[in-house]
Structure 1
Amino acid sequence: MAIAIDREMAGDINNPSLELINYCLEEHENEIPRLNVLFDYYDGKPHKIDQTPKDTPHDRDEIYVNNAKYVTDMMTGFMIGNPIAYSGTQGKDIQPLIDALKKMKISKHDTELEKGLSAMGVGYELHYLSVTEDAVIPKVAWIDPRGMMLVVDDTVERTPLFAIRPREKQKIDRSTYWEITVYTSLWIIIYKSETKKLSWDKLLNNPSVKENLYNAVPVIEFRNNEEKQGDYEQQLSQIDAYNLLQTDRIKDKKNFVKALMILYGFTLPDEKPAEINGSMVLNAPSKEDGGSAEFVTNTFQESEVQVLADALLDDFHKTTYIPNLNDENFAGTQSGEAMKFKLLGLLLALSVKTSYFEDGVRQRLNLISNILNIKGKNVDAEDIEVKFKVNLPFNRKDVLEQIKESMDFVPLLISLGWLDDVDNPQEVIDMLKEQKIENLKLQAKAWGVQAEDSHSDLDDESTEG
């Protein structure tokens, strides 16, 4: 989590003191229990903040319907199912940046990043350089927020000052030590210490220092929303209630099978009774003598329990904005506009998520551009347009009809942007112009009209004697 501090009290932010680093580590430690709870719900190990998960619901003979994973996986698919599109403004050449993003496998990276954002509300992206014999390649990695923190100033700008990544590592003799990496705008400082709390007498050796070529803190904090909350964080009690209900239903069914039998007028013999084909045979008095037997069961109305389960699920889907695709309202043929109204809550939630995700993407492009410019590529991140294509059912036929009907009063450059798979409308318009020219040439040839640049032997004078 981002830790805000007074810039004037921070001292040299390119070489933070051990006291300042320890303060940030302690502040970050306070957030880890909450993040553990959120991720463990996704991982199928639900527990409270003051508890440590030691087993799974299966081991505890409990029912756990993983609605947390359902929300995160669905939201990740909606957000990043279609990769983010990048295009240049006013014909700017951004191909070097596109090539760099492809080498990073940025689509896969964004999927991992969004999954972490959806589950824990915050995620970190670390930029680093991979040095090979032939080149220096910029790369990115998603860092679990439990293992990374960004330190910013306490102004409204929240300017990044430095980042810290603590990692517990193991030697070959299985003893452990801590590696604390500090990322500043100029340097990457690595401390190796016996303990997580740094002190000069606990350091295993002198800290190593590397130059940071990004000319900025190479760590970006991505936020899921303003509150940095996960997509199901406010629904943990609903998840617990639904799973408790399902667990009790199974227990009631088991108890029903294990019903008690009450015998009236006789008792079972002490010796083992006779059996015929596996069925027990008893000598019992006749009904006329007052003998009878009956089962004692805990009666429950399954239909009433299902009503409660459906109500819990309805509230869960309503508050997470994730549609229940098993709902009968999604069955049958629906128009595009009707589906939009049913998914309105989800679309509004995605608009918030994409706006915060784009903030991080913009910082990403700036860092990559810094490295590309060092290599002489001359790329300006301001010349890049970022477009999110929400991965939802899309009625292309309706959109094409709207484009056709609006051609008299909506410029084609704008209406083509309504298509979900068109990243650069101007490029499509240029392709249409080339296609029309080619069609005219083919049509002229079909009608026998000679093109200006063509040559026919019929135009030559006869050379025969």
Structure 2
Amino acid sequence: MAIKINREMAGDLNNPSSELLNHCINQHQSDFWRLEKLSDYYDGKQDILKRTKDSAAAPNNKVVVNHAKYVTDMNVGFMVGNPVAYTSSDDIQSILDAYTKVDIVSHDTELEKDLSVFGIGYELIYMNQEPQTGKVFADIKCIDPRGIFLVTDDTIDTNPLFAVHYQPVYNLQGAVDYYLVKYYNDNRVLTYRADSIGFGNYKLIKALPHYFKAVPVIEYRNNEERQGDFEQAISLIDAYNLLQSDRLNDKEAFVDAILVILGFDLRDGDGQRLAKERLLINTNAPGESSVSYLTKTMDESSVAILRDSLLEDIHKVTYVPNMNDKNFSGNVSGEAMKYKLFGLLQLMSVKERYMIKGLRQRLILFANYLEIGNKNVDIDGIKIKLKPNLPINTTDIVNQIVQAHQAGILPLKVLLSWLPDIDNVDEVLEQLQEEKEDAIKMNQKTLGVQAEDSHSNLEEDEEESNDSGKVQEKE
């Protein structure tokens, strides 16, 4: 998360001190293990895998049902499964072209995954060079939150001061040789080499300017608390894994139950004979005798109720529905699906506000870069829209548009905005107008050809009549 510091205490931002860098890195490192745990849970490295038992002979199954990955993948697909749409009444094609060049759709997917897992995401905008042509362009990459942070001032505006990206450099033996530290402020990039992180000195390797006119690192928040989408459900995920693992342990213990024999004398070889012939003969005097297994009673119905309760709580806390539930059958309409996904839609409305704030900062940085090439873009009028990736019944929407348009209730521009795949309504209206004009010209051309044919036929008929009259006169 962003680290706040007093502007006067920060000193010269073009030449940061080792004390400043160490202080900020130590602040960032204090949250490292939380981020590490969230990453492990998404990867399936969950606490159940660390469970041990006192007896080595006791069953110790470790089942991981990765609800963390399910929650994140569902949120990512729901949020950015449809690409983010940018529309404006002004010409913004230069920014859209720059976004296309860096494959911004894939980048947004990666960014949303970081937001869903860590509750926070960082992207770095930097100058890159094409290997074939050597042409320089603005590129963008997501940076793991465990190795980068943003520093702001302590005012209510939290203005960005600088950002730091640090990463270890390993030798051929797999040990850390040194750390590479990159410092970004609003006009330059400083690269340092350090033997350690959080204490010690930093050796300046190079200093380069950048032309984004602001700190080229953007911090995105998943919510106000900067929490991941499954973070509050970790205890429920652990309980579910434990329950499923113990169910297997009980089954395994049931299969390997202890055989209890009462009232029998077993001699040498009787054990092998029992295993082979499945028969015991009582050689003692008549009396009570029995053979049974020592097991504990298993109430599967109670276990199933507990499992379903935990599963329901996981989906309730994360707002992500269970898509395998019978309520999500194949014949559910798109409108009915929205009501079933109401919780997820509310979650998206919160995530969307925080994401759009970062996307606007991204537009500012790209616009500042484009100004270098005299491509001025007015970003104030750009509208950013995130569309939930939901099954949509387009036929119903089109029918509603046609009925409303015929009734004259709403303008066509408003009605066309109902269609989910239309990003720029004005462009669609222009295309419709062009098609109408082309159709009119085609009709006029067709009518003109018919008129000429009709006129030529009349002339031919007149000539034929004149010729016949002359023939009659000669006769």
Q: Would the TM-score normalized by the shorter structure come out above 0.5?
A: yes
Could you tell me which residue of structure 2 aligns to residue 13 of structure 1?
13
How far off its partner does 1:438 sit? Answer: 3.5
| 1:225 aligned residue (223, 226, 251) | 223
Matches within 5 A, 1:199-218: 199-200=200-201, 203=202, 205-218=203-216
| Kept after mapping to 2: 8 A contact 1:72/1:231 | yes
Partner of residue 3, structure 2: 3
Give secondary structure in 2 for the equivalent of 1:26: helix
Partner of 1:367: 365
Gaps of 5+ in 2: 53-58, 468-475
1:28-81, Cα deviation, whole Å (9 max, x unpaired):
011111111111111111249xxxx8899xx97311100000000110010111
For the residues of structure 2 that align with 1:93 and 1:451, how far apart are their CA atoms? 41
Cα deviation per residue 1:83-142 (whole Å; 9 max; x = unaligned)? 11222x22x222221111111111111111111100110010001111244411111110
Give 2:182's aligned residue.
181
CA contact (8 A) 1:184 1:212 kept: no
- The equivalent of 2:473 in structure 1 is none
| Counterpart Cα distance in 2 of 1:380 and 1:455 | 53
Larger Rg: 2
> Displacement, 1:409?
1.8
For the pair 1:265 / 2:244, whether they are aligned, the reply is no
Q: CA deviation at 1:209?
A: 0.6
Deviation at 1:331, TM superposition (A): 1.9
- Alignment partners' CA distance in 2, 1:459 and 1:372: 62
Distance 2:51 2:295 in 1: 32
The whole-number CA distance in structure 2 between the counterparts of 1:94 and 1:278 is: 83
Is the 8 Å Cα contact of residues 63 and 244 (structure 1) preserved in structure 2?
Answer: yes
Q: Which one-letter code corresponds to 1:373 in the other structure?
A: E
Contact 1:129 / 1:138 at 8 angstroms: preserved in 2? Answer: yes
Measured at CA, do residues 223 and 459 of structure 1 come closer, stay the same or move farther in structure 2, by a change above 3 Å?
farther
For residue 425 of structure 1, report the CA deviation from its aligned partner.
1.0
- Structure 1, unpaired ranges of 5+: none
CA deviation after TM superposition for structure 1 residue 272, in Å: 5.7
Structure (1 or 2) with the greater helix fraction: 2
Q: Give me the whole-angstrom Cα distance separating, in 1, the residues matched to 2:105 and 2:425.
A: 22
Which sits farther off after the overlay, 307-316 or 373-382?
373-382
Task: Note the C-alpha offset of 1:405.
Answer: 2.8
Q: Residues 61 and 251 of structure 1: is their aligned pair in 2 closer, same or farther, counting only changes over 3 Å?
A: closer
* Matching residue's letter, 1:414: V
CA distance in 1, matches of 2:183, 2:453: 75
Report the CA distance shift for 1:336/1:17 in structure 2 as closer, same or farther (over 3 A): same
Q: CA deviation at 1:175?
A: 5.7
For 2:322, give the aligned amino acid.
N
Which residue matches 1:144?
Answer: 144
Q: Say if 2:219 and 2:358, in contact at 8 Å, map to a contact too.
A: yes
Shift of 1:250: 0.9
SS of the aligned residue for 1:420 comes to coil
State the one-letter code of the partner of 1:115: K
Q: Distance in 1 between matches of 2:394 and 2:285?
A: 75
Please identify, of 353-362 and 324-333, the stretch whose mean Cα deviation from structure 2 is larger: 324-333
Distance 1:305 1:225 in 2: 35
In structure 2, the residue matched to 1:324 is 322
Report what 1:195 is aligned to. 196
- Structure 1 residues 279 and 120, CA gap change in structure 2 (3 angstroms): farther
Tell me the number of residue pairs that the alignment of Structure 1 and Structure 2 aligns.
450
Residue 370 (structure 1) shift: 1.3
Q: CA 1:409 to 1:178, structure 2 compared with 1: closer, same or farther past 3 Å? A: same
Aligned to 2:183, the other structure's residue is in SS state strand
* Counterpart in the other structure of 2:83: 83
Q: Distance in 1 between matches of 2:347 and 2:78?
A: 11
Larger CA deviation: 319-328 vs 11-20:
11-20
| AA in 2 matched with 1:162 | F
For 1:336-355, list aligned pairs within 5 A.
336-355=334-353
Question: Are the counterparts in 2 of residues 273 and 282 from structure 1 also a CA contact under 8 Å?
Answer: no
Alpha-carbon shift at residue 338 of structure 1 (Å): 2.4
- The one-letter amino acid of 2:225's match is E
Structure 1 281/96 Cα, relative in aligned 2: closer, same or farther at 3 Å?
Answer: same
C-alpha change, 1:146 and 1:15, in structure 2 (3 Å) is same
Q: Distance in 2 between matches of 1:242 and 1:93?
A: 53
Q: Which amino acid in the other structure matches residue 246 of structure 1? A: Q
Partner of 1:164: 164
Query: Distance in 2 between the 1:329 and 1:370 partners?
Result: 49
- Percent identity, aligned pairs only, is 45
Cα drift, residue 270 of structure 1: 2.7
2:238 maps to 1:240: yes
Q: Tell me: CA distance 1:251–1:274, structure 2 relative to 1, closer, same or farther (3 Å).
A: closer
Aligned counterparts of 1:366 and 1:427: Cα–Cα separation in 2: 24
**Distance in 1, Cα, partners of 2:4 & 2:144:** 19
Per mean C-alpha deviation after superposition, the further-off stretch among 269-278 and 179-188 is 269-278
Correspondence 1:300-449 to 2 at 5 A: 300-331=298-329, 333-407=331-405, 408-442=408-442, 449=447
The DSSP-based 3-state class of the residue aligned with 2:398 is: helix
Q: Is the alpha carbon distance of 1:381 and 1:451 closer, same or farther for their aligned partners in structure 2, counting shifts above 3 Å?
A: farther
